[in-house]
């Protein structure tokens, strides 16, 4: 009974299973033919080169396929082909002429946008654009963006030249005297301070020179559009001058003038001489106090031997005090000699005026501050950011 039931169920399910099996089998390939007007277009199927139009009997498997046609001087054409069953497929396409556009800018190096899409850097030639009104824009740092509208025609190379206008920045330079000359990029721009002058944004070099007595300083800066940079050149004569610093502390002038080893050596010698003098002074005072105490006890001696002992001790203490005071004098004279030599060396060999550049950036206060200039023709770099 069970066997007969199983045979009955199998017979009923056989047609269904047969249909499912047929549905799961891959569909046979189709044959695609592609023609274009004009002929000779490159045919690309699923990213692979397939041939030139007219293309005959190109086999395609079941599914969706991407089709691209390219022909020089004509717009690229994109399409899709879906294969569901075996058979012949035919596609015919009309290629439309493309427009060419040449974009240059002054200065060069601007970013070129066509209908709000970025295409590259000028100078640039584009040869696959659609005809009709087209918006062209060129953008470059530190310059105003230039926008124009052109009417593109098929088969015609349209030339566009964009003259870019610089976006100005403001620069002020304050100098300590009216006879100081101010240079920008090695060109004399004023005698005396420069007040709120418009400059082309970017990197520049400023220099200030005082003819008599001759002093000079130069620095490089970088200013972005619409920024305001202010420079103040000043000469710091007292707080940083090596000679005056050496008068306050021997050796400090040499260190500030760029000779740290000599400066530290002088400071150590000066400090060591003072320490020797101070130690000797303390020892001499103590020895002399002991001598006074022993001398008082000598007057109260009861025997000759006791008096002789007090006398020898007092004599030794007195000699020790005298020796200590002599060492003190040597230390003081040594410190004085080091002090005089340090001041003389700073005056004759290391004496110079320090030049200070003070930078104030209104749109970026973090860059404000003083910059000390070292060397005869120093350079500092000051970045100004919005």
160-210: per-residue pLDDT in tens? 999 988 777 788 888 777 888 888 888 888 888 888 888 777 777 777 787
Does residue 14 lie in a domain region? Answer: no
294-352: per-residue pLDDT in tens? 766 666 656 667 767 767 787 888 888 889 889 999 989 999 999 999 888 887 776 65
* Range 143-167 average pLDDT: 88
Please say if the pLDDT value at position 379 is more than 50: no
Does residue 256 lie in a domain region? Answer: yes
Domain match, 277 and 335 both: yes
In order, the DSSP letters of 113-170 are EETTEEEEESSEEEEEE-SEEEEEEEE-TTB--EEEEEEE-TT-EEEEEEEPPBPPEE
> Domain with 41 in it: what CATH number?
2.60.40.10
Give the Cα separation of 317 and 65 in Å (integer): 116
* Range 4-32 average pLDDT: 56
Domain match, 330 and 369 both: no
pLDDT of residue 10: 57
Please say if the pLDDT value at position 80 is more than 50: yes
Nearest to 371 by CA among 354, 386, 384, 351: 354
Give the Cα separation of 26 and 386 in Å (integer): 64
Q: What percent of the chain has pLDDT over 90?
A: 18
Does residue 213 lie in a domain region? Answer: yes
> Domain with 157 in it: what CATH number?
2.60.40.1120
**Which range scores top for mean pLDDT: 87-96, 115-124, 138-147, 211-220?**
115-124
Phi, psi (5° rounding) for residue 200?
A: -75, 130
Q: Is pLDDT larger for residue 357 or for residue 367?
A: 357
CB proximity list for 167: less than 8 A, separation 6 or greater: 142, 143, 144, 201, 225, 226
* Count of domains observed in the chain: 4
β pairing state of 55-60 and 30-37 = antiparallel
Range of the domain at 140: 99-163
């Amino acid at each position: 009974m069970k066997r007969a039931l199983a045979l009955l169920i199998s017979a009923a399910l056989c047609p269904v299973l047969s249909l499912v099996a047929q549905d799961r089998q891959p569909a046979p390939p189709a044959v695609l033919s592609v023609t274009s007007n004009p002929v000779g277009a490159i045919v690309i199927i699923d990213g692979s080169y397939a041939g030139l139009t007219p293309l005959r009997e190109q086999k395609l498997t079941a599914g969706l396929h991407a089709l691209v046609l390219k022909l020089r001087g004509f717009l690229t054409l994109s399409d899709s082909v879906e294969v569901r069953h075996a058979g012949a497929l035919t596609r015919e396409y009309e290629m439309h002429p493309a427009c060419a556009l040449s974009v240059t800018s002054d200065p060069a190096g601007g970013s070129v946008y066509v209908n709000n899409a970025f295409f590259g850097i000028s100078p640039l030639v584009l040869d696959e654009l659609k005809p009709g009104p087209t918006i062209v824009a060129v953008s470059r740092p530190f310059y105003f963006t230039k926008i124009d509208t052109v009417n593109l025609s098929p088969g015609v190379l349209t030339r566009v030249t964009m003259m870019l206008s610089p976006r100005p920045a403001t620069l002020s330079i304050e100098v300590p005297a009216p006879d100081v000359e101010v240079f920008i990029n090695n060109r004399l721009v004023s005698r005396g301070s420069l007040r709120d002058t418009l400059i082309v944004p970017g990197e520049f070099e400023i220099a200030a020179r005082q003819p008599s007595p001759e002093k000079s300083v130069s620095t490089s800066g970088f200013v972005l559009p619409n920024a305001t940079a202010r420079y103040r050149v000043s000469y710091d004569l007292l707080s940083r001058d090596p000679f005056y610093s050496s008068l306050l502390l021997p050796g400090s002038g040499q260190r500030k003038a760029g000779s740290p080893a000599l400066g530290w050596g002088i400071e150590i010698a000066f400090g060591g001489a003072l320490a020797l003098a101070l130690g000797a002074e303390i020892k001499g005072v103590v020895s002399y106090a002991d001598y006074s105490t022993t001398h008082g006890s000598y007057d109260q001696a009861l025997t000759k031997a006791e008096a002789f002992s007090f006398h020898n001790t007092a004599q030794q203490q007195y000699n020790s005090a005298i020796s200590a005071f002599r060492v003190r004098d040597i230390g003081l004279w040594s410190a004085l000699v080091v002090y005089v030599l340090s001041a003389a060396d700073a005056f004759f060999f290391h004496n110079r005026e320090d030049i200070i550049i003070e930078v104030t950036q209104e749109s970026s206060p973090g860059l404000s501050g003083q910059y000390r200039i070292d060397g005869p023709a120093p350079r500092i770099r000051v970045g100004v950011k919005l």
